[in-house]
Amino acid sequence: MATTETRSAVLLDRWGLAGLRLTARGRLVLFLLAVAVSLPVALAGSQAVAGSPGEPIEVRLHTVAPGETLWQFAAGLAEPGEDLRVVVAELRDLNGMPDSSLQVGQVLVLPRS
């Protein structure tokens, strides 16, 4: 089994750096350079920025009756030309719903139109 020194020598030779020797100061400089490059990347990636809260909306509560769908509510709330899928997704988010299915008697929070 090859020792670490032998493997290092083979790699240095392969890269054309066979005569290169790294001193303790050189290793320190390389280490500090690696920290200086990676630290800003790590810090920038960990910052979370909260968006500003939107305008408060006036809401009403509605109890779901038989035959009502979330798509019907979305159609009544959507602006002309607005994609109903977006409105349905917003209603689901507003009500914490995993999908668009409704149950009779379920209470929905709906924006006042």
User: pLDDT tens digit string along 46-57?
Assistant: 556 666 777 888
| Strand boundaries in the chain, DSSP class E | 59-63, 107-111
Over pLDDT 70: what percentage of the chain?
Answer: 81
Comparing C-alpha atoms, which of 104, 111, 94, 96 is closest to residue 68? 104
Whether 52 maps to a domain, the answer reads: no
Q: Quote the number of domains for the chain.
A: 2
With cut-offs at 50, 70 and 90, classify the pLDDT of residue 2: low
Same domain, 35 and 67: no
Tell me, yes or no, whether 74 lies in a domain.
Answer: yes
Residues 107 and 64 in one domain: yes
Distance between CA 77 and CA 87 in Å, rounded?
Answer: 8
Statement to judge: residues 23 and 66 lie in one domain: no
Take residue 35 and report the two structure tokens written for it: 């920290």
Any idea of the CA torsion for 31, 36, 40, 46, to the nearest 10 degrees? 20
Residues 81 and 107 in one domain: yes
**pLDDT at residue 49, as a whole number:** 64
* CA gap 17, 5 in Å, rounded: 14
Does any domain span residue 53? no
Any domain includes 86: yes
Q: Is there a domain that residue 51 lies in?
A: no
36 and 68 share a domain? no
The reported pTM is 0.52
- Full domain range(s) for residue 68: 59-111
Q: Please tell me whether residues 64 and 104 are part of one structural domain.
A: yes
Tokens of 106: 């379920």
User: Residue 39: pLDDT band by 50, 70, 90 thresholds?
Assistant: confident
Whether 75 and 103 share a structural domain: yes
Q: What is the mean pLDDT of the chain?
A: 83
**CATH number of the CATH domain containing 97:** 3.10.350.10
Residue 92, CA atoms < 13 Å, CB-side half-sphere: 15
Across the strands, what pairs with 62?
108
